[in-house]
């Protein structure tokens, strides 16, 4: 076994593990705030496939969608993962009513696919009613 192939296979395993370790959802526990939909990429495999996942992030203490993206991008880069922002919007999160509304858009990144964001949010908030709307900002 040559060292280059061995190092390459270790990187692939590490990258796949790092990708698997990324939580699909990280949003604030309540309130109305901006959110973004992000695609996170692992290292390219030898067959040309590039493993990826889509994640949702939303934080009330981020004034701009870009602030959320900068935070997530910095975390991912530390583990060697690349990111791409697929758009944004707003989340209204009411834990007492087990309700989330996903709506609006990001001026800088465009509108996220809110149905895709809803699908991802349901992995974490299985017993919630999650509504989507293209209305509002």
pLDDT in tens, 63-121: 999 999 999 999 999 888 999 999 999 999 999 999 999 999 999 999 999 999 999 99
CA distance 80 to 40: 10
Please check whether residue 16 lies inside any domain of the structure. Answer: no
Please check whether residue 15 lies inside any domain of the structure. Answer: no
CA distance 89 to 22: 21
Please check whether residue 36 lies inside any domain of the structure. Answer: yes
| Geometric angle at alpha carbon 56, from 80 and 96, rounded to 5° | 140
State residue 50's pLDDT score: 82
State residue 79's pLDDT score: 86
CA distance 110 to 65: 10
Flag whether 43 is marked binding: no
CA distance 132 to 123: 16
Please check whether residue 10 lies inside any domain of the structure. Answer: no
State residue 42's pLDDT score: 87
Over residues 20-38, the mean pLDDT reads: 97
Q: If DSSP codes are grouped into helix, strand and coil, which group holds residue 7? A: helix
CATH of the domain at 113: 3.50.20.20
State residue 4's pLDDT score: 45
Min mean pLDDT across 25-39, 63-77, 123-137 is at 123-137
State residue 52's pLDDT score: 94
Q: Report the domain count for the chain.
A: 1
Q: Which domain holds residue 56?
A: 22-133
Please check whether residue 4 lies inside any domain of the structure. Answer: no
Q: What is the pTM of this model?
A: 0.86
Please check whether residue 97 lies inside any domain of the structure. Answer: yes
Please check whether residue 89 lies inside any domain of the structure. Answer: yes
> Which of 129, 128, 126, 132 minimizes the C-alpha distance to 35?
132
Residue 133 has pLDDT above 60, yes or no: yes
CA distance 120 to 6: 35
Please check whether residue 5 lies inside any domain of the structure. Answer: no
What positions carry a catalytic annotation? Answer: 65
State residue 5's pLDDT score: 45
């Amino acid at each position: 076994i040559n060292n280059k192939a061995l190092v390459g296979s270790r990187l692939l395993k590490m990258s796949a593990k790092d990708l698997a370790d990324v939580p699909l959802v990280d949003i604030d526990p309540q309130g109305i705030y901006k959110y973004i939909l992000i695609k996170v990429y692992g290292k390219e495999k030898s067959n040309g496939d590039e493993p990826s996942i889509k994640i949702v992030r939303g934080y009330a203490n981020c004034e701009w969608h870009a602030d959320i993206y900068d935070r997530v991008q910095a975390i991912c880069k530390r583990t060697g993962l690349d990111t791409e922002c697929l758009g944004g919007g707003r989340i209204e999160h009411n834990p007492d009513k087990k309700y989330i509304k996903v709506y609006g858009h990001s001026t800088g990144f465009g509108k996220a696919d809110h149905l895709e964001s809803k699908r991802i949010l349901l992995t974490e908030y299985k017993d919630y009613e999650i509504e989507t709307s293209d209305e509002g900002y």
